[in-house]
Amino acid sequence: MEKGLSRRCQEMTKRMFDLIAASCALVALSPLFCLVALLIKLDSPGPVFFTQLRGGRLNKHFKIYKFRTMQVNAEKTGLGYKTRSDDSRITGIGRILRRTSIDELPQLINVVKGEMSLVGPRPAL
């Protein structure tokens, strides 16, 4: 009984940390999010965010959020979701976002929603 309670306490503590840290990061990074969204819209037509279905904990699927770095529907041509460094499907701003990993920042939304954690394994494709 005591071991189960300890585990639940650890999970609650981890969730609270995720929620507070990700929320604070989203607020602090909101000017960057706005700038990146504007640059994406100026660089190419299409949505600002790219979503992809991923398998999470206990194989529960969810939509992962990223800034769009490729042309719309690029996964339907070429190598699918895989890319090469000289891939023509990657947009101009997309190259910078990928190189700096800024394209991954919208995953903080997934953390706030409880679909991901700041610490732990990455969700599988």
- pLDDT value at residue 31: 98
Average pLDDT over residues 46-73: 89
Average pLDDT over residues 75-102: 81
pLDDT band at residue 107 under the 50/70/90 scheme: very high
- pLDDT value at residue 124: 65
- pLDDT value at residue 56: 79
pLDDT band at residue 46 under the 50/70/90 scheme: very high
pLDDT at 81 exceeding the cut of 70: no
pLDDT band at residue 63 under the 50/70/90 scheme: very high
- pLDDT value at residue 76: 67
- pLDDT value at residue 88: 82
- pLDDT value at residue 85: 66
Average pLDDT over residues 68-81: 75
User: What contacts 102, CB < 8 A, 6 or more positions away?
Assistant: 32, 36, 67, 96
